[in-house]
Amino acid sequence: MNNIRDFLTFSAPIPVDGRHRAEELRRQQTTQAKGEQVYLNTLSVSFVNYYLCCMGFETDLNKSDSWNLIQQTLMDIADLSLKNLGLLECRPVLSDAQFVYVPPEVQSNRIGYVAVQINKSFREATLLGFVKQVQTDLLPINQLQPLDNLLEYLEELSQFQVAEIADNSLDCNHNLVNLKQWLENIFEAEWQEIETLLGTQGVNPAWSLRSSNGAFLSRGKLIYLGKLLSERAVVLVVTLPPDNEQEIHIIVELHPTNGQEYLPPNLHLMVLDFEGVSVMEAQTRSSNKNIQLEFSCEVGERFSVKLVLGDISITENFVIC
């Protein structure tokens, strides 16, 4: 297909608020040339935003660098942020242009490039087509793909994103430790009895008392502080009462493995809420034999326990349901 007129384009007035924003940004530039560049870029982004919203895609102008005065001043940029998809570059061209100029600074980190022809009145525009990638500053207009391909491409990206979110959700649920099952004596294989991990010499006498009188239930997991099994490890212990109450008291502790006397210094133990926000934290010094945090959770709540040592980070996810 050699002629841009051989396939479908889209023409319409540029939204009034987009024209106002373009004029506002243009006035704040120090040179006329830069002002004209920013003006055309902003008109293009506004027009593509209008078109994609009409087509049912979610956009976010406020997350687009092109809507930011400082970014527009520093770069030749015309990006539009599409929710959960990425940045779409909206390059302006004038009437009868044969090429689309794509600055080197925007030739990466984009999901695609759309050519927007601005008419002489600067009040109307036409979407000429798009490409997924560019490798040149001057893209021939006759190499653009039709708009139908753009919509199909964005729909594919959207479906892929939905599938990825679903996969992540399944992974998250799969990795959840259900503490309610512990109360029914159902334990994940990696969560073992304390004596197995620490040996009888390393067991806190309070654990033996808890176990014998049925006041508390404890399990531990070996956590490797690195990617290799040969690297140092610690034991994460979670303790809870056997009562099936609406609010459950929980203790999380860190202990050195059998044969080690102290925990590594500067090891952080954090409890995160269901949004991943740290709500409490403890940190080891040079000679800590253990550290612990105590808190309460209601039935149905999720929380995470996070260990951080330098650039090593390990998170364990829990739910009570």
Q: What span, in angstroms and rounded, lies between the C-alpha atoms of 218 and 196?
A: 12
Q: What span, in angstroms and rounded, lies between the C-alpha atoms of 282 and 291?
A: 7
Give the pLDDT of the chain (321 residues) as one tens digit per residue.
344 444 578 999 999 999 999 999 999 999 999 999 999 999 999 999 999 999 989 999 988 989 888 888 889 999 999 988 899 999 999 988 999 999 999 998 899 999 999 999 999 999 999 999 998 999 999 999 998 899 999 988 887 665 555 444 444 445 789 998 888 888 988 899 988 888 755 555 455 445 444 567 899 999 988 654 445 789 999 998 866 567 888 999 999 986 788 999 999 999 998 888 899 999 999 889 999 999 998 888 899 999 999 888 889 999 887
Alpha carbon of residue 208 to chain centroid: 43
**What was the pLDDT predicted at 209?**
42
| b/e per residue 34-45 (b: at least 16 CB within 10 A) | ebebbbbbbbbb
**What was the pLDDT predicted at 2?**
40
Q: Rounded to 5 degrees, what are φ and ψ at 150?
A: -60, -45
- First-to-last C-alpha distance (Å) of the chain: 59
- Look at strands 278-283 and 112-118 and give their pairing: unpaired
CB atoms within 10 A of CB 226: 13
Residue-by-residue DSSP string for 88-150: EEEEEEETT--EEE--GGGSSS-SEEEEEEEPTTSSEEEEEEEES---SSEEEGGGPBPHHHH
Say if CB 25 and CB 41 are below 8 A apart: no
Q: What span, in angstroms and rounded, lies between the C-alpha atoms of 263 and 258?
A: 11
**What was the pLDDT predicted at 176?**
86
Q: What span, in angstroms and rounded, lies between the C-alpha atoms of 8 and 6?
A: 7
Which residues are registered as beta bridge partners of 280? 271
Query: Any idea which fold 176-319 has?
Result: Immunoglobulin-like (2.60.40)
For residue 102, give both structure tokens.
């794509």
Q: What span, in angstroms and rounded, lies between the C-alpha atoms of 138 and 91?
A: 11
CA atoms within 13 A on the CB side of 129: 21
Q: What span, in angstroms and rounded, lies between the C-alpha atoms of 311 and 43?
A: 44
Domain coordinates of the chain in residue numbers?
Answer: 4-168, 176-319
Per the rule left: phi > 0, alpha: psi between -120 and 50, beta: everything else, 170 is alpha
